[in-house]
Structure 1
Amino acid sequence: MRILRAATVTATVTALAAAATGCGGGSTPSGGGSNDSPRTLTYWASNQGPNVEADKKILGPELRKFEKRTGIKVKLEVVPWPDLLNRILAAATSGQGPDVLNIGNTWSASLQATGALLPWDKENFDEIGGRDRFVAPALGATGAEGKDPAAVPLYSLTYALYYNKQMFKEAGISQPPSTWDELVADGKKISKHGKWALGAEGGNLSNNIHQAFVLAKQHGADFFDSSGKPTFTSPGAVAAVKQYVDFMAEDGIIAPGNAEYGQNQSLQDFAKGRTAMVLWQAAASTFTAHGMKAEDWGVVPVPVPSGAPGTGRRTNSMIAGINIAVFKNTDNLDGARKFVKFMTSDAEQRLLNKTYGAIPPVKAAQADPAFSRPDTKVLRETLTRSAAPLPQIADESQFETSVGTAVKDLFADAAAGHRVTTASVRARLAEAEQQMAK
């Protein structure tokens, strides 16, 4: 499911803040934007569906609906994820780009630092119905704290724990785990005869970050202090990374081969009955594509140390998803705001999030029954009650690369049979912290 790629794509952004300060995107004739008509907008949509053509089929009727209502034609380009960030940065530096675009919500603060995106102050929010229409956690992933958001939430996602019902039954386990101790105990019952309890993607840097971030929250730690200084070697951060890697190194519930896994490989193993559990975002459509029936699997919130998910140390997911933004230099600001209003309207939020398997960040749209199914209910409640945004800092992508690589290397150590200790974890994180300072 491409929807999760906004939160999992890893890209190293160099000198973002200096790249385009005071520079906007905006449309020009060479950029194919709105200069050719004041009644035209150019929209870069991220690839959310199975492929680019699927997105065109999904979005096309909605854009025609917008044109019929407003008289404004929208020129759509669906941009594949591997190209999206570089395209956005090029547009920011050149001033030639779309009027409206999708961004991964983990990029919000980085792109905000370029100065290229329209700040969503009170006036701009009022133009689309007000800030209060959106759930607060989703707004937390729209830019640096204390600044006007650089974008508006469009599609929201969180993590959940998916489990194979038959594998649990065969292991004599009557219900899925709600705490990590329970997960490890269940996992040891399952991890036998060539089957494993938990899937992981040790080679997926962003996924490594997502898991480490949540566990750090549960250990009462952050990876940055209030001034934005990295604190990767704090006791809580070290304990979090060690706990995650220990699922392979110490507990033996993750297959050593998972140390090299990249995007979506853990989902394939789950669908084929090789692993009994996986931590993922909106995985239902992927399971169906791999031949699983809805009754084959269940979904529950990601475990917490004890008790039930909630705020503070009971955080159990990062906030994933897509934001919609406007280039500050657009020559059709009124039309761009109308388009954002349309895309975040209750009706469009229900339709598009339902289609893509995401959760609407607009409160009223969540009332649709589609978001109260067992799987979507878990995602929705996690979003509103127990999810937190990744650090909203300009160097967020560098954080994903440095710490994500540290976790990858520790998984490689575990897979090779090397002992993973608190000291070895701290040493890897110290290297990552030094890289952030360069």
Structure 2
Amino acid sequence: MSRTRTTAIGAVTVTLALAATACGGGSATGEGSNDSPKTLTYWASNQGPDIPADKKILTPELKKFEKQTGIKVKLEVVPWSDLLNRILTATTSGQGPDVLNIGNTWSSSLQATGALLPWDEKNFAKIGGKDRFVPAALDSAGAEGEDPAAVPLYSMAYALYYNKKMFREAGISEPPATWDQLVADGKKLSKGGKWALGAEGANLSNNIHQIFVLAKQHGADWFTADGKPDFTSPGAVAAVKQYVDFMAKDKIVAPGNAEYAQNQSLSDFSKGKTAMVLWQAAASTFESQGMKDSDWGVAPVPVASGAPGHGKNTNSMVAGINMAVFKNTDNLDGATKFVKFMTSDAEQKILCKAYGSIPPVKAAQQDQSFDKPELKVLRDTLAKSAAPLPRVPDESQFETAVGTAVKNLFASAADGKDISTAAVKAELAKAEQQMNKQ
């Protein structure tokens, strides 16, 4: 029988920023006594092309864990559109899972609630030690100077994926390396009901990922050194305008993309409706939708000029999924064993291969499965030209506030409205004001 945990948390500033649109789900505890718990509940994030695909990938692995330990894992795959609100509700209601996946960019915000188990040296020792993990992945597992609030599970970076046939038909011999080249190529490709570039205007997280990178290229950060919002700087405004202008001014993104949510741009790309998409670890989705590896190519995300690198030539955020444990689970031993299993060398090879991601576990990266051209681009990007999103307690509010501002601007662009610098700054000012009221 399920029981509801009481969650004691010190600071729940995160929940003030977001209205929970989905109730906290999942049973809170395992079955049986605390001395011999036999069940864990696990919220997995939707990593594959759809939720059934995730269940197909994960279920055999969870059965393997059950066979090894006698602990059954009750799986729920949660869509990205619901995941953050579900987690925030769980931190306050106490009705949540034992183990959960979190976007690595949320680590600092969720850490501030006090609801997650800190991964200190003692806890890391239970899963084989901290040194097993790639340092960049650990850097995105919590606030600077504190023990991580989660353990890296899948590592990713953004790349530019392009349709080889559409490029050939447009007379384009190679993928664009700069944004000027992308726009010029895009105008050749946006013909006959087909479009050059896919976007997901209603996907708040994806909006943030794109404009974070563009702001870096314009020499801007979204927070000051002391962690205060700085959304209306010239660089931040220019970044958002550049991104929305792909639809509003350059006309290389379909107006309908203003309403697109998660993975809809990937579906259009797979069907040959768009020629390019900016995404992280997309190969498994393309394959599931009927594309052959020979149909598409991959290249680094463009920069303003020159080659990708750090600073103004940053071309990706440090992307990835972390695995966290609610600190007051009544099955801490079982939860720790499950994290150890999921981050073992063997499981990392299986899971990351299935999802097309990069193992954050050093030993697993050595497997030849991760030498494919796509993963080489992603791995190189993570090593040389990616930067972590702001590691501040208000990061999740930032994603919601600024992501919504970009969504609103895309909606205006789809309606044919002029997206002026003043209009962009006004939307970002509203987002900053919303943050400052909290």
- TM-score normalised by structure 2 residue count: 0.87
Task: Quickly say closer, same or farther: Cα 1:227–1:78, change in 2 above 3 A.
Answer: same
1:190 corresponds to: 189
Cα distance between partner residues in 2 of 1:248 and 1:59: 37
User: 173-182 or 310-319: which moved more?
Assistant: 310-319
Cα distance between partner residues in 1 of 2:85 and 2:322: 17
CA displacement at 1:195 relative to structure 2: 2.6
2:393 corresponds to: 394
Task: Quickly say closer, same or farther: Cα 1:352–1:230, change in 2 above 3 A.
Answer: same
CA displacement at 1:32 relative to structure 2: 3.2
Cα distance between partner residues in 2 of 1:231 and 1:206: 18
1:344 corresponds to: 343
1:14 corresponds to: 15
User: 229-238 or 84-93: which moved more?
Assistant: 84-93
Percent identity (aligned): 72
Task: Quickly say closer, same or farther: Cα 1:406–1:361, change in 2 above 3 A.
Answer: same
1:75 counterpart letter in structure 2: V
CA displacement at 1:411 relative to structure 2: 2.2
1:390 counterpart letter in structure 2: L
1:428 corresponds to: 427
Task: Quickly say closer, same or farther: Cα 1:273–1:50, change in 2 above 3 A.
Answer: closer
Q: Does the residue aligned with 1:129 lie in a helix, a strand or coil?
A: coil
Q: Is the CA contact (8 Å cut-off) linking 2:30 and 2:330 kept in structure 1?
A: no
1:75 corresponds to: 73
Q: Is the CA contact (8 Å cut-off) linking 1:16 and 1:110 kept in structure 2?
A: no
1:62 corresponds to: 61
Cα RMSD for the two superposed structures: 2.7
- TM-score normalised by structure 1 residue count: 0.87
CA offsets 1:234-264 (integer angstroms, 9 cap, x no match): 1111111111112222222222332232222
Q: Does the residue aligned with 1:276 lie in a helix, a strand or coil?
A: strand
Cα distance between partner residues in 2 of 1:182 and 1:434: 36
2:353 corresponds to: 354
Q: Which residue of the other structure, out of 29, 32, 38, is the alignment partner of 2:30? A: 32
CA displacement at 1:401 relative to structure 2: 2.0
Q: Does the residue aligned with 1:14 lie in a helix, a strand or coil?
A: helix
Q: Is the CA contact (8 Å cut-off) linking 1:34 and 1:332 kept in structure 2?
A: no
Cα distance between partner residues in 2 of 1:262 and 1:13: 23
1:251 counterpart letter in structure 2: D
- The unaligned stretches of length 5 or more in structure 2 are 1-12
Cα distance between partner residues in 1 of 2:415 and 2:96: 47
CA offsets 1:257-312 (integer angstroms, 9 cap, x no match): 32232222222222222221111122223223333222111111111122222222
Q: Does the residue aligned with 1:32 lie in a helix, a strand or coil?
A: coil
2:124 corresponds to: 125
Q: Does the residue aligned with 1:418 lie in a helix, a strand or coil?
A: coil
2:298 corresponds to: 299
1:13-412 aligned at under 5 Å gives the runs 14-15=15-16, 31-33=29-31, 35-46=33-44, 47-49=46-48, 54-69=53-68, 71-81=69-79, 84-95=83-94, 97-412=96-411
Cα distance between partner residues in 2 of 1:414 and 1:335: 50
CA displacement at 1:36 relative to structure 2: 4.8
Cα distance between partner residues in 2 of 1:63 and 1:208: 33
Q: Does the residue aligned with 1:154 lie in a helix, a strand or coil?
A: strand
Q: Is the CA contact (8 Å cut-off) linking 2:48 and 2:285 kept in structure 1?
A: no
Q: Does the residue aligned with 2:154 lie in a helix, a strand or coil?
A: strand
CA displacement at 1:13 relative to structure 2: 5.1
CA displacement at 1:326 relative to structure 2: 1.8
